[in-house]
Chain A
């Protein structure tokens, strides 16, 4: 029982990271119908920015965190402007390829600049555990869960309570109609990319104490975040986080209770089963065109 709770908490913590990356996919997908295969690499780059600010320049953790988030938000806007905007409205296959290309580029550039070693970011939560009876919970894992909850609440408020959030929802529902109503759709899309990159950075920095940061971490985790996003239904924001947590828990449980090797494939098997039974995902809304 104790093992079970322990595994559950670490699964949820890992799942929150998947959920945050999946959240980035979903934000971009909702706004522009673009599936960003480079989301995991944006997370990796964010982690490296944070490492540079905190580990190399010696800034305070929170200051470095904020710096990395701002830098990555700007980078997200740049990536949108250069790679995605010219091909908006073209077949999805081209856009998938373009973002795969962007991911390739980021991975090897990071490998060239920072090297291919593992890096570690020192955080205030690195050490220390919370003891409840005989249950031992590490602070770094709890911090990930807490930060995910806070971020989700902030995003929820942003999308439902602010004018900009409403404009984003409008342009995601119907881009052309939003244009006609005077919403600056291009700027809105650019801000969506900035938010997605910032969320990815948060995921990267939170992840750093749990696993190390290296140039391929984005690919590995990005590919776990896909099942998360699909499991939750690709267009649903709460779905992304729930899907991420589910994937994390499944992975963690499979690693503990099943023989070696199941850990890596269990999420994909669950994903295939879900796709077979409910192709639009658990929370997906299957909208029908009204004639």
Chain B
């Protein structure tokens, strides 16, 4: 293993602690850059969704992971970004302007939501954000002069510096990737700054943060605003990717999906947000695989164990019926969420950290390193 000797306070907040980071991220970036020339167009399209979901995940991670403010209303922020883009586009506003306007407007709305949220904690905050999302959804459906109501809005093809950028082409993928990378780097810098440290202090203990001179309300509102602004930027890209938006696309279901992204990615890190996004987007291709190939594979296994062809055919049909049942995706989501909460609360990135630590400390690894502490008597009602 590599020993890092920190001899300076600055060493603690380096963007790349050692050269290994530069090499590995450089290789990853090279792979991502050549992806559109190697992968099928379907997979590139999925990668675009990964970029968008990961951007939202980073935004939500700032709020939930680093500031400790839960939100089940992020679909509303995404919707505000998407609708801003679609509305401004009608007046031939250039892309960079409405892209930034979408982020700015969503950030302002986020700050406005943040103010009432100051007095709320835990479950009350969750319910307040759900209520906010419902109200936004209803406003989008009713404010027909701007949003065209339930008919939805068409989003024109993106044009950047006079060039058309179709949502299935490689240029759009590069655009989304660039936004994601800029968001991640920006967030990393934010987290290295006093603001980011104040966020983490608030997450760990509000009282301690306040006693160290952190203005808790100011930073909570800031966190809401930044998180919402990033989600709004993702919303602009989301609108372009789908090229059609309507209110019923931004439901509680979508907010829950964003929470799933950071829960499954996990470990309070930006890596987690990206891993979670990859996981969530790749469920769809996985389900397709399940429907098409799994029945044949299981029947094949049964055949090698000496089942006759009629029984194998029956197995094939049964598995196919289960795999193509309605709502299988929901069941898989449910089981995955429960399993992750029960067995791997640190998420995929936490699992990676454990594996890495196991090999670094090889004969001396202790399982209790990552053990969670139970708190029985701490009641929210007695605060």
Residues of A within 8 A of B381 (CB): 33, 235, 285, 287
Interchain pairs with CB closer than 8 A, number: 142
Asked whether B252 lies within 8 Å of A223 as measured between CB atoms, the reply is yes
Q: Are B383 and A265 in contact (CB under 8 A)?
A: no
A259-276: which residues lie under 8 A (CB-CB) from chain B? 261, 264-265, 268-269, 271-272, 275-276
Across the interface, do A261 and B256 meet the contact criterion of CB distance under 8 Å?
Answer: no
Interface SS of chain B? helix
A100 pairs with B377, CB closer than 8 A: no
Structural contact, A261 and B141, CB atoms closer than 8 A: yes
| A265-B127 Cα distance, complex, nearest whole Å | 14
Chain B residues in 8 Å Cβ range of A272: 116, 128, 131-132, 135
Interface string of B318-336 (1 = CB under 8 A from A): 0000000111111101111
CA distance A57 to B368 in the complex (A): 52
Q: Contact at A98–B342, with CB atoms within 8 Å?
A: yes
B18 within 8 A of A: no
Query: Interface size (A, Cβ < 8 Å)?
Result: 53
Considering the complex, give the chain B residue whose CB is closest to the CB of A86: B342
Q: Please tell me if the beta carbons of A83 and B342 are within 8 angstroms of each other in the complex.
A: yes
Interface string of B252-277 (1 = CB under 8 A from A): 10001001000100000000000000
Contact of B338 among A101, A116, A261, A279 (CB under 8 A): A101
Chain B residue nearest to A177 in the complex (CB): B377
Among B328, B341, B375, which residue has its beta carbon within 8 angstroms of that of A98?
B341
Residues of B within 8 A of A276 (CB): 116, 119
B331:A227 contact, CB within 8 angstroms: no
Contacts known (A92-B380, A287-B381); A111 close to B326, Cβ less than 8 A: yes
Q: Give A98-139 as 1s and 0s: 1 = Cβ < 8 Å from B's Cβ atoms.
A: 101111111111011000100000000000000000000000
A93 (CB) vs chain B CBs: closest residue: B70
- Please name the residue on chain A nearest to B133 by beta carbon: A268
CB within 8 A of B377: which of A83, A109, A175, A269? A175
* Contact in complex: A105, B338 (CB < 8 Å): yes
Residue among A108, A223, A279, A289 with max Cβ neighbours from chain B (10 Å): A108
Residues of chain A lying within 8 A (CB to CB) of residue B287: none
Given the known interface contacts A230-B127, A261-B138, the answer about A105 and B345 at a Cβ–Cβ threshold of 8 Å is no
**Minimal Cβ-Cβ distance residue in B for A275:** B128
Contact of B328 among A94, A108, A287 (CB under 8 A): A108
| Residue A249 CB within 8 A of the other chain | no
Provide the residues of chain A in CB contact with B130, threshold 8 Å. Answer: 223, 226, 268
A66 at the interface (CB under 8 A from B): no
Are A101 and B372 also in contact (CB < 8 A) when A92-B380, A226-B130, A275-B124 are?
no
Majority secondary structure, A binding face: helix
Alpha-carbon distance between A279 and B116 when the two chains are bound, in angstroms = 10
Chain B contacts for A287, CB-based, 8 A: 381-382
B123 contacts partner chain A, Cβ-Cβ < 8 Å:
yes
Task: Assess whether A268 is in contact with B335, with CB atoms less than 8 Å apart.
Answer: no
**A89 nearest CB neighbor, chain B only:** B374
B252 with A101: CB separation less than 8 A: no
Q: What's the Cα separation between A285 and B379 when bound, in Å?
A: 13
For B334, the chain A residues whose CB sits under 8 A away are: 101-108
Whether A261 and B127, one on each chain, are in contact in the complex, defined by CB atoms closer than 8 angstroms, is no
Residues on the A chain within 8 Å of B330, using CB: 104-105, 107-108, 111
With a cutoff of 8 Å between Cβ atoms, the chain B residues found around residue A288 in the complex are 382
**Residues of the B chain whose Cβ atoms lie less than 8 Å from the Cβ of A175:** 376-377
Tell me the bound Cα distance from A176 to B372 in angstroms.
Answer: 18
The answer to the question of A35 belonging to the interface, with a C-beta cut-off of 8 Å to chain B, is: yes
Complex CA distance for A79 and B380, rounded to whole angstroms? 23
The answer to the question of B185 belonging to the interface, with a C-beta cut-off of 8 Å to chain A, is: no
List the A side residues contacting B259 at CB < 8 Å: 97, 100
A48 at the interface (CB under 8 A from B): no
Contact A105 to B331, CB < 8 A, known contacts A226-B127, A261-B141, A275-B120:
yes
Q: Does B194 sit at the interface, judged by CB under 8 A? A: no
Tell whether, in the assembled complex, residue A109 and residue B333 are in contact, meaning their CB atoms are under 8 Å apart.
Answer: no
Which parts of B324-383 form the interface with A (CB within 8 Å)?
A: 325-331, 333-338, 341-342, 345, 372, 374-377, 379-383
Q: Is A96 an interface residue (CB 8 A)?
A: yes
Contact B337 A98 (CB under 8 A): yes
- What are 18 pairs between A and B in contact, CB < 8 Å? A35-B123, A88-B376, A94-B341, A94-B345, A97-B337, A102-B334, A108-B326, A108-B334, A116-B326, A215-B327, A223-B130, A261-B141, A268-B131, A272-B128, A272-B132, A275-B119, A275-B124, A289-B383
8 closest A-B pairs by beta carbon, nearest first, are A105-B334, A101-B337, A104-B334, A108-B330, A108-B327, A89-B374, A268-B131, A108-B331
Other A-B contacts than A97-B263, A101-B341, A234-B123, 19 sampled, CB-CB below 8 A, are: A88-B374, A93-B64, A100-B337, A101-B333, A101-B337, A104-B330, A104-B337, A108-B326, A108-B330, A112-B326, A112-B328, A223-B130, A226-B127, A261-B138, A265-B135, A268-B130, A268-B135, A271-B131, A276-B119
